[in-house]
């Protein structure tokens, strides 16, 4: 009588062990699911600095440079009950095919080009090479828009847009006089947090790493520009 491979596999399963073509059947084992702990047990300020190791890990190097240049006190990143949007280095400077992309800050917000003597060349602009090519207030406003009161993360962000208000004072940005930002969670397996994803939004930003639970509030890392604007 011929016995099919399917029958052998069935018998192996029933008997608990068997060998087929020289290979032992896999034994059963108990699987214990494990969910990574999103808590860092450190403040947002410490978290950024711990990820700023030149030559090793400098994810937040450009953001820390911006904070220092704008004169924002580091205590703003230790205050309780806030949500922080942190700039990955790619959000500040990203190069593709030897060109600075227009979806990073230094590529989107161009600065006047200058000749060899330092004089501005009329009508000519280029990507920035450092934060100090911008007015300090511009950089400060950029950073203030990336902080909001209240803790906004996976536990309270749903598939419908939730409107929050940044620490940028109202009226500073003429395109966003209320200093608004919208957050929503994609209704799929990726569960991506999307920033300013509304009808006719000029810029929609996908959060790169979301739900980092620092001791003073959640943080979300972005690797593209975050801005608010409505298409005409």
> Is 142 part of any domain?
yes
pLDDT on residue 88: 97
The reply to whether 183 falls in a domain is yes
Strands 82-87 and 217-222: parallel
Dihedral pair phi/psi, residue 70, rounded to 5°: -75, -15
Nearest to 12 by CA among 132, 23, 1: 23
**Residue 5 pLDDT:** 47
Same structural domain, 85 and 200: yes
- Whether 5 maps to a domain, the answer reads yes
Q: Supply the pLDDT for residue 37.
A: 85
The DSSP call for residue 76 is G
pLDDT (0 to 100) of residue 55: 75
Q: Domain containing 213 — which CATH number?
A: 2.30.180.10
Does residue 124 sit within a domain?
no
pTM: 0.83
Put residue 21 in one of left, alpha, beta given phi > 0 → left and psi -120 to 50 → alpha: left
Q: Which of 211, 209, 231 is nearest to 87 (CA)?
A: 209
Q: Are residues 9 and 60 in the same domain?
A: no
Q: Is residue 105 assigned to a domain?
A: no
Q: What pLDDT score was predicted for residue 57? A: 75
How many whole angstroms separate alpha carbon 207 and alpha carbon 202?
Answer: 16
| Tally: H helices and E strands in the chain | 6, 15
**Residue ranges making up the domain that contains 12:** 1-28
Q: Which residues of the chain carry a pLDDT beneath 70?
A: 1-35
Shared domain for 14 and 50, answered yes or no, is no
pLDDT for residue 14: 46
Total number of domains in the chain: 2
pLDDT given at position 9: 42
pLDDT at 56: 76
Asked if residue 74 belongs to a domain, the reply is: yes
Do 15 and 67 share a domain, yes or no?
no
Q: Is residue 187, in this structure, part of any structural domain at all?
A: yes
**Does the residue 230 lie in any domain?**
no
């Amino acid at each position: 009588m011929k016995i099919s491979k399917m029958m052998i596999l069935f018998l192996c399963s029933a008997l608990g062990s068997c060998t087929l073509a020289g290979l032992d059947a896999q034994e059963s084992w108990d699987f214990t699911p494990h969910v990574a702990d999103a808590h860092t047990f450190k403040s947002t300020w410490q978290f950024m600095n711990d990820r700023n190791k030149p030559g090793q890990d400098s994810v937040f190097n450009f953001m820390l440079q911006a904070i220092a240049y704008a004169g924002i006190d580091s205590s703003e990143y230790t205050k309780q009950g806030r949500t922080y949007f942190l700039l990955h280095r790619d959000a500040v400077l990203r190069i593709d095919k030897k060109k600075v992309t227009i979806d990073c800050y230094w590529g989107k917000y161009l600065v006047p080009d200058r000749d060899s003597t330092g004089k501005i060349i009329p009508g000519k602009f280029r990507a920035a090479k450092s934060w100090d090519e911008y007015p300090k207030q511009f950089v400060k406003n950029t950073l203030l828009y990336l902080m909001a009161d209240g803790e906004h993360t996976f536990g309270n962000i749903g598939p419908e847009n939730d409107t929050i208000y940044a620490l940028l004072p109202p009226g500073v940005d003429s395109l966003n006089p209320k200093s608004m930002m919208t957050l929503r969670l994609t209704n799929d397996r990726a569960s991506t947090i999307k920033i300013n994803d509304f009808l006719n939004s000029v810029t929609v930003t996908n959060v790169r790493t979301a739900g980092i639970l620092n001791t003073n509030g959640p943080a979300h890392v972005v690797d593209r520009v975050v801005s608010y604007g409505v298409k005409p």
